[in-house]
Structure formats: structure tokens, C-alpha cells
Amino acid sequence: MTDFAARRADMVERQLRARGIEDERVLAAMGEVPREAFVPERLQRRAYADSALPIGAEQTISQPWVVAAICQALALRGDERVLEVGTGSGYSAAVLARLAAEVIGIERHESLARGAAAALAGVGVDNVRLLVGDGSRGYPERAPYGAIAVHASAPAPPPALIAQLAEGGRLVVPIAAAAGDDLTLLRRYGDRVESEVIAPCRFVPLIGEEGF
């Protein structure tokens, strides 16, 4: 029988801590969330591989380091409302749910949203609200957000998402570049937006009004 707990602990140390993830809250959350609950059953033995995995609908569950890097860049304190664009399997939402007060996830594939809802309920997460729709436009009904995480590559920083950030809020989004994608942190201060590239990455495209 696979010892998922041991693999998860090893993932935290070898894939995350050893590669620059220093936020102890993020490391703890990644060590608590059972990634195997968010991948297809046939792939559960690969749940802690250092790679993305297919989850259906031509989408993937992100590499663990990418999930941790996004969460670390968001610098969550625990009292924020977080918007997540591209919820996919629900794995990153489960991690964010341990770091923030409330998570609103938007997924454009209804089948994935249903699966994510079931997986989140299965591991006892009750502070994530899932919606089906165009995540590139955000969800202004619950704005402003202390943080926004986007799990798909955008052609440019989506203006609608920036507008929904609270003062000092953080948005992490992959931005399409010539040689791949740049995982990018944006901070909003009034009408001014500061930008910082975290790392190169590879994501599926953001499909929608402010995506591709």
C-alpha cells in the first residue's frame, strides 16, 4: 500500500524547502493537503512526482513547487478573501483554504468544477466556494480580494483582475512570453501596479474575455 504521508513529507523537504520555499505556513499547508485526493485514481501513485499531471478536459494539476511558489508570493496572513482562477482539480484551492479565510474559485469546465467540489468535500475543506464561468473577468460581486491566483497563462495582466484587488493586494499570474510563460507577481497600490517575475513556468492558456 502506498505511504502517501511519507511521500508528501519528502515532497515538502526535497521539492519545496530545498528549492527556496521558505514560508512555514505554506510548507505546513502543502504537508497537510493529500494531493492524491485531487488526481485521477490511475495516477495516484504519481501524486507526489515533481511534475504536472493530467486531470481531464486537457487541463493539468500543477507541479507542487509551482503551487507553493504561488502561495508564497501571495504572502497570505490568514484573514484574506482569495480569488482563484482556474480551479482545476481543486488541489491549490485546498492549499489556499488553509492559508486564507475564504477562497472563491472559478473554473470554466463544469466537469472539473464538480470533481473539485467532491474532492474538497472529501478532505473536509468548507471555506471554498466554486463557480463555473470565465475566470479572466474575475468575480466582482465579492471584490475586493486580498489576493488572486491565476492558474493559466494570460497574454497580459488581466485589467479586470487588477481592478478587483484590494489596496496592497497581490495577484500571481503566468504571463505568456516568447520562450514560455513568466510566473509574475503584481501588487496594486492605488492606480500604480508593481510587477515582479517569480520564475519561468508552463501553463495552459487562459481562455476568456481577457485571456486568449
Per-residue pLDDT tens for 38-50?
Answer: 999 999 999 999 9
As a whole-number percent, the residues of the chain with pLDDT over 70 amount to 100
Catalytic residue among 51, 62, 153, 195: 62
Per-residue pLDDT tens for 75-105?
Answer: 999 999 999 999 999 999 999 999 999 999 9
| Domains of the chain by start residue, with CATH | 4-201 (3.40.50.150)
Claim: this prediction has a pTM higher than 0.85: yes
The yes-or-no answer on residue 51 being catalytic is no
How large is the average pLDDT for residues 23-28? Answer: 98
Please name every residue paired with 199 in a beta bridge, in sequence order, or none if there are none. 183
- Give every CB contact of residue 92 below 8 A, 6+ residues apart in sequence: 62, 67, 70, 71, 84, 149, 151
- Give every CB contact of residue 71 below 8 A, 6+ residues apart in sequence: 23, 26, 29, 30, 92, 95, 96, 99, 149
Please give the grid coordinates belonging to residue 20: 527556496
Buried b (16+ CB within 10 A) or exposed e, 148-177: bbbbbbbeebbebbbebbeeebbbbbbbbe
Q: Taking the alpha carbons of 190, 183, 143, 137 in that order, is the dihedral positive or negative? A: positive
- Cβ neighbours of 140 (radius 10 Å): 12
